[in-house]
Structure 1
Amino acid sequence: MNKKTFYITTPIYYPSGNLHIGHLLTTTLAWVYTNYKKQRGYDTLFSTGIDEHGQKIQKKAEEAKMDPQAYVDMQANKFKNLWELLDIEYNVFSRTTNKEHEKAVALIFNKMKEKGFIYKAKYEGLYSISDEEFLTPTQAILKDNKYYHPVSGQQLQEVEEESYFFNMSKFTPWIRSYFENNPDFLTNRATEKELLNNFIDKGLEDLSVTRVSFDWGIKVYNADDSRQHVIYVWLDALFSYLTGLGYLSDNQSDYEKFWLNGNERVHVLAKEISRFHAIYWPIFLNSLDLNLPTKEVIHSWIITPEGKMSKSKGNVVDPIPLIQTYGAEEIKYFFTSQVNIDNDFTFSYDLLINVLNADLSNNFGNLLNRTVKMVNQSFINGVHFDEENLHQIDKNILKEIDLVYQDYCLALDNFRADKALKRTIEFSKHLNEYIDKNEPWKLKDNLERLNVVLNTLLQGIYAITFMLSIVMPKKTSKIFNFLNQDIISPTALNDYKKFDNKVLDVKEILFPRIKN
């Protein structure tokens, strides 16, 4: 039987600046969603990468006195090293300097041109080099007779040059209709409303898709051009989601499996690039009669008490020291469990430490350690499931395992990892309360009742460990080993005999308390 497929991408990151925790958040979310789909039996493919072309990259390379290719090679390694440090595995690392990608994008450009969607004219307007974005005066901020980018604050350049344009305006009715008929296409309602109000409902302007003022990019050659044209970075970059699957290459099997015939095609991105992914990308795909993504998961910003992270404020948080200090899995748990993708998230070190101590050390870690200790004190050969002697309080816990797992799946099916993990940790808290109500330390002379209580606790601990495994696979693998469990599956959640006569051995404290 063919498995359902799940293809997920991060944006291909622009590698001109330093790494920050925004990169960490986006990639971790995509990785966690992938792990969940694997749990559910999907065939998955996870893609990330970097966007290597454009005027900004060329300028950065010049500043570093490097060849542009050598510069992006160096930057690519920074991202790969971060994902390795974070213990994030991916299937594809897309690079827009890949020759197969460059060849495919040139073919795509020509195909759009042949279909009449691309025409030559002169571009006169505003351009942000740092954001690689064209803006109209109404979209920009005017201050002291100069125009600035509304998000980054970078001063805009006035540009006048020969360019090819994509006929975006022609697709305005189509994209508006698509939003209306596919209300679940974007996860973020506020972003959808903003895109409609600020761009679509005003009527889309045709998009300049080539530049002639620099040469670091995919070149298009036409005899009637006065100068050599380089394809605009967004037209180049967005198609990496297809070329990473082999689209227009000699081997299109992944493209056919995961995009052409795939069940779920998901992009994870931050809200500031939603215009390119939610308007331009669907239109580009529609112009070529290609499938659209099935979902765009749009998360908000991580900010600090000083506001949005920026070099000028000096509040950019480097992810590497965080991982080295607190641990890769702990950091992934923190961001995944705390960030509600619809709202900006305020990061602080105090919050990080408090969450890790409260959720993992005091709550779940304590539950695991005290339960196994009590089992080993009274049952050398392990506990067993005794259905006849279950009390209502025990049955309620076993029933809650099913309810928690249903809530967990519902949240993750809607890409709300924070809700799934918070529900999991809430259940761990309920198990600690169950211990307090049953007072097992007073049941040493009633081994029949003590056996039921401890077995019930282990059933709950298994469920929590299983649900946390999507974000902490290494730690949870150790826990399953401590619990002498070989079968790691959702079907085992209701196999109440899985702990029968299993000897338990917690070999280390997995979640030590962090000192402030």
Structure 2
Amino acid sequence: MTSSSGKQRYYITTPIYYVNDKPHIGHAYTTLACDVLARFKRLDGYETHFLTGTDEHGQKVEKSAEKAGVDPQTFTDQVSQNFRDLTAGFGFSQDDFIRTTEERHKKACQALWKRLEEKGFIYLGGYEGWYAVRDEAFYTETELVEGPNGQKLAPTGAEVEWVEEPSYFFKLSAFTEKLLEHYETNPDFIGPSSRRNEVISFVKGGLRDLSISRTTFKWGVPVPGNDEHIMYVWLDALTNYMTAVGYPDVESGIYQKFWPADLHMVGKDILRFHAVYWPAFLMAADLPLPKRVFAHGWWTNEGQKISKSLGNVIDPFALKDEFGLDQVRYFMLREVPFGNDGDYSRHQMIQRINSDLANDIGNLSQRVLSMIFKNCDAQIPTPGAYTEADQALLQQAEALLPALRDHFDRQSFHKGLEQVWDVISAANRYVDEQAPWGLKKTDPERMKTVLYVLADVIRQIAILVQPVMPESMDRMLSQMGVDPEKRSFADIGLSLQSGYALEKPVGVFPRFVEEEA
């Protein structure tokens, strides 16, 4: 969609994170992927809105606050701050941070409820069934699994309790065919394809009406007209994506500009809520549906499932402090095909830092700029006529932007980075083949052309990799004298400015050396 400013627009969201615990690697991973896409779209000329935030209602929060000996609002204020600290510590570039305890959100939720009620999709009944407080989800008898002591558990392993209470219901059963038709006509609505197949299979199994209110606790958004009932936490939580762009004021500029969202990024455990319940709520309210929901996988730690009981929870701040922020950002998006489960391995982290970053791009940049500093009067040289080899390398670099657009729009970050590294490898081979150190004596003008070509390829790569490693690429571009105002994707076609006086180059990616025990 194009905004009134004439720019294309892009709206991307993380799930809002549940505030009953502190942030871990999974939270950092999801927000990082969204941050990279938001930065990519901004550099590509899009007017971008990037949302993250915290989900602060529900029985689980009420119980956690009670356990901590504080009221729910004080508890959520404290824990929500931990997630703000994560966004600051990782340099995430969100445009808004939403909390579901904000007044704007309460107003949006109640407006959506009234709209669903007016359209006849909400009715009052009674709920009897299994409920998992940990998941904030209802489960049918057939979905339950047997625990190690014979107890009934949710398919996620969470404990369930039998609940009997009056409840409002949403007529989810009315949307089976409409949802299947939507998936059919919009094949990119759910990604990756393996997850799409799971959702279609679930919906084909038939949808039951959904309990959307609770009366056994009070920490939530009151149902309009009946404050004995609190809105089901997922109806409340999902509405945040519209709250942040001005709903219920659908005439507002921000709503008109950014709704529907282009991408909801979620973990695979909450895909059903985003790909079944959320579009059904929106269809019922006659509101536009998001364009895409993408579910990524989970991390393990050195091959083991991550859990507090095993004591192997990965603290993203500890990773950043040990390895460096950009190094962690690169590893998380390069190591695992996004959408699959992935394993955090310390060995692999160090391998990526030393091989991909220090040896490949770091060494290429340092070698080339050092040769220019030493052999070209410390100035970016003026090139002569290009040979076929020069043109081949430059064309390979120029082909990166359309390829990256394609990969990133499909959330295939690892493939995009692989393609960038193919060009880095080609540039390293070109250095060895052209041997500019030998040309200094035999053909100094040719040497200048070779070094110029290499520096320009490095410039293009650094501009494109900015979304993934913003600080490092900023340093790399600054060393070459690339104007901070000329680092967008629209500037890739410009040539590197000859005559810029270099400072003595400093390596951007140091090798990681393990301290001796």
What TM-score results when the alignment is normalised by the length of structure 1?
Answer: 0.95
Asked if structure 1 preserves the Cα contact closer than 8 Å seen for 2:370 and 2:505, the reply is no
Aligned position for 1:466? 463
Asked if structure 1 preserves the Cα contact closer than 8 Å seen for 2:55 and 2:99, the reply is yes
Which amino acid is the alignment partner of residue 429 of structure 1? S
Which amino acid is the alignment partner of residue 148 of structure 1? L
Q: Give the superposition deviation at 1:83.
A: 0.9
Tell me the secondary structure at the aligned position of residue 141 of structure 2.
coil
Matches within 5 A, 1:437-456: 437-445=433-441, 446-456=443-453
Matches within 5 A, 1:178-197: 178-197=182-201
- Measure, in 2, the Cα distance between the counterparts of 1:92 and 1:257: 15
- Measure, in 1, the Cα distance between the counterparts of 2:394 and 2:308: 51
Which amino acid is the alignment partner of residue 427 of structure 1? V
Deviates more, 1:38-47 or 1:299-308: 299-308
Tell me the secondary structure at the aligned position of residue 316 of structure 1.
coil
Aligned position for 1:73? 77
Q: Give the superposition deviation at 1:396.
A: 1.0
Asked if structure 2 preserves the Cα contact closer than 8 Å seen for 1:302 and 1:344, the reply is yes
- Measure, in 1, the Cα distance between the counterparts of 2:317 and 2:94: 19
Asked if structure 2 preserves the Cα contact closer than 8 Å seen for 1:175 and 1:279, the reply is yes
The counterpart of 1:355, out of the listed 340, 352, 363, is 352
Q: Give the superposition deviation at 1:167.
A: 0.6
Which amino acid is the alignment partner of residue 183 of structure 2? F
Matches within 5 A, 1:256-335: 256-259=256-259, 265-335=262-332
Tell me the secondary structure at the aligned position of residue 165 of structure 1.
strand
Change (3 A) 1:387 1:166: same
Which amino acid is the alignment partner of residue 267 of structure 1? H
Q: Give the superposition deviation at 1:316.
A: 1.4
1:377 to 2:374 alignment: yes
The counterpart of 2:362, out of the listed 362, 365, 368, is 365
Q: Deviations over 1:143-187 (max 9, x none)?
A: 455221212x12111111111111100111100111111111112
Q: Give the superposition deviation at 1:315.
A: 2.2
Q: Give the superposition deviation at 1:422.
A: 1.9
Q: Give the superposition deviation at 1:406.
A: 2.6
Q: Deviations over 1:200-234 (max 9, x none)?
A: 111111110000111100112546xxx81110000
Aligned position for 2:223? 220
1:235 to 2:232 alignment: no
Deviates more, 1:98-107 or 1:47-56: 98-107
- Measure, in 2, the Cα distance between the counterparts of 1:381 and 1:55: 65
- Give the total of aligned pairs: 506
Which amino acid is the alignment partner of residue 488 of structure 1? R
Asked if structure 2 preserves the Cα contact closer than 8 Å seen for 1:361 and 1:513, the reply is yes
Structure 1: gaps of 5 or more residues:
none
Which amino acid is the alignment partner of residue 429 of structure 2? E
Matches within 5 A, 1:76-225: 76-143=80-147, 144-151=149-156, 153-197=157-201, 199-220=202-223, 222=225
Aligned position for 1:15? 19
- Measure, in 2, the Cα distance between the counterparts of 1:221 and 1:407: 49
Which amino acid is the alignment partner of residue 18 of structure 2? Y
Aligned position for 2:500? 502
Deviates more, 1:229-238 or 1:212-221: 212-221
- Measure, in 2, the Cα distance between the counterparts of 1:44 and 1:428: 29
The counterpart of 2:513, out of the listed 494, 512, 515, is 515
Asked if structure 1 preserves the Cα contact closer than 8 Å seen for 2:128 and 2:165, the reply is yes
Q: Give the superposition deviation at 1:256.
A: 1.6
Q: Deviations over 1:393-419 (max 9, x none)?
A: 112111111223332222122222221
Asked if structure 1 preserves the Cα contact closer than 8 Å seen for 2:32 and 2:92, the reply is yes
- Measure, in 2, the Cα distance between the counterparts of 1:216 and 1:311: 26
Asked if structure 1 preserves the Cα contact closer than 8 Å seen for 2:57 and 2:100, the reply is yes
Deviates more, 1:126-135 or 1:310-319: 310-319
Q: Give the superposition deviation at 1:114.
A: 2.1
Q: Give the superposition deviation at 1:89.
A: 2.0
Q: Give the superposition deviation at 1:384.
A: 3.7
Q: Give the superposition deviation at 1:508.
A: 2.9
Which amino acid is the alignment partner of residue 111 of structure 1? R
Aligned position for 2:333? 336
- Measure, in 2, the Cα distance between the counterparts of 1:407 and 1:221: 49
Q: Deviations over 1:468-501 (max 9, x none)?
A: 11112222122111101112233443333x2322
Q: Deviations over 1:363-393 (max 9, x none)?
A: 11111111111111111153444352x2221
Which amino acid is the alignment partner of residue 396 of structure 2? E
Which amino acid is the alignment partner of residue 155 of structure 2? P
Which amino acid is the alignment partner of residue 394 of structure 1? D
- Measure, in 2, the Cα distance between the counterparts of 1:104 and 1:499: 51
Q: Give the superposition deviation at 1:307.
A: 3.2
The counterpart of 1:427, out of the listed 423, 431, 446, is 423
Q: Give the superposition deviation at 1:331.
A: 1.2
- Measure, in 2, the Cα distance between the counterparts of 1:319 and 1:489: 29
Calculate the aligned-residue CA RMSD, in Å. Answer: 1.7
Asked if structure 1 preserves the Cα contact closer than 8 Å seen for 2:464 and 2:489, the reply is no
- Measure, in 2, the Cα distance between the counterparts of 1:181 and 1:232: 30
Tell me the secondary structure at the aligned position of residue 18 of structure 2.
coil
- Measure, in 1, the Cα distance between the counterparts of 2:505 and 2:434: 26
Q: Give the superposition deviation at 1:322.
A: 0.8
Q: Deviations over 1:10-39 (max 9, x none)?
A: 000011123111000100000100111111
Asked if structure 2 preserves the Cα contact closer than 8 Å seen for 1:455 and 1:499, the reply is no
Asked if structure 2 preserves the Cα contact closer than 8 Å seen for 1:47 and 1:92, the reply is yes
